[in-house]
Chains A and B, each alone.
Chain A
Amino acid sequence: GIQVEQSPPDLILQEGANSTLRCNFSDSVNNLQWFHQNPWGQLINLFYIPSGTKQNGRLSATTVATERYSLLYISSSQTTDSGVYFCAVVNSGNTPLVFGKGTRLSVIA
């Protein structure tokens, strides 16, 4: 099946810093989603982005489908941004999302 790799696995930032999280996938995708899992375990949808670029406030994402990677940018990070960021993809049809191992982000004041 499709493989999803995320980097870095862990990231510690000072409040106000910017960061880039990467997601590589091993095959073509028709769905790619970014999630933030908060400390209570809730997965929050950040972006649905199988291709192109989207922005939502301090967050933006870019997926280059032909090169099989996606990037999540966090600008002016805040302590509330802490948690785990997951990239998940669908390879074909209506198969379920396959998750990467996530990037654990800690933003310190």
Chain B
Amino acid sequence: GAVVSQHPSWVICKSGTSVKIECRSLDFQATTMFWYRQFPKKSLMLMATSNEGSKATYEQGVEKDKFLINHASLTLSTLTVTSAHPEDSSFYICSARDTREGAYNEQFFGPGTRLTVL
């Protein structure tokens, strides 16, 4: 299967600072990547769809000015949490769809980034 990496795996920051999370597709190109958020003992909630070379599409209720998404290349999408506050503490997971021939558009996930804002 395809491999998606995320960095960092965990981060602790002070309230008011910005945090950047990277998501990379290692063995395939991804024109589209997805960012999810997961609270403890809850399911994954889609935050936004990241499109290479164009603006991201945000889900209803997600602040685009707080969660900046940049998809600058076919293998890299970044999520920046700006002016982070304790309520932004969560587990952020990215994913990419493997569109190579024979891959059936199966979606693969990164290992996640645990953000704690003090």
Query: Which residues of chain A have a CB within 8 Å of any CB of chain B?
Result: 31, 33, 35, 40-43, 45, 48, 86, 88, 90, 94, 96-102, 104
Contacts and interface: CB of A to CB of B under 8 A. Distances in A.
Contacts of A90: 105
B46 A98 contact: yes
Nearest to A97: B107
Given A94-B32, A97-B107, A102 B93 contact: no
A6 to B, nearest CB: 9
A96 B34 contact: yes
Given A41-B112, A86-B44, A96 B107 contact: yes
Interface in B32-52: 32, 34, 38, 41-46, 49
B104 A41 contact: no
Contacts, number: 53
B106 interface: yes
Contacts of A35: 109
Which range holds the interface residue count of chain B?
20 to 34
Interface of A is mostly: strand
B44 A42 contact: no
A10 to B, nearest CB: 10
Interface in B14-47: 32, 34, 38, 41-46
Nearest to A6: B43
20 contacts: A31-B104, A33-B106, A33-B107, A35-B109, A41-B111, A42-B112, A43-B44, A45-B1, A45-B106, A88-B44, A96-B34, A96-B95, A96-B107, A97-B34, A98-B46, A99-B43, A99-B44, A100-B43, A101-B42, A101-B43
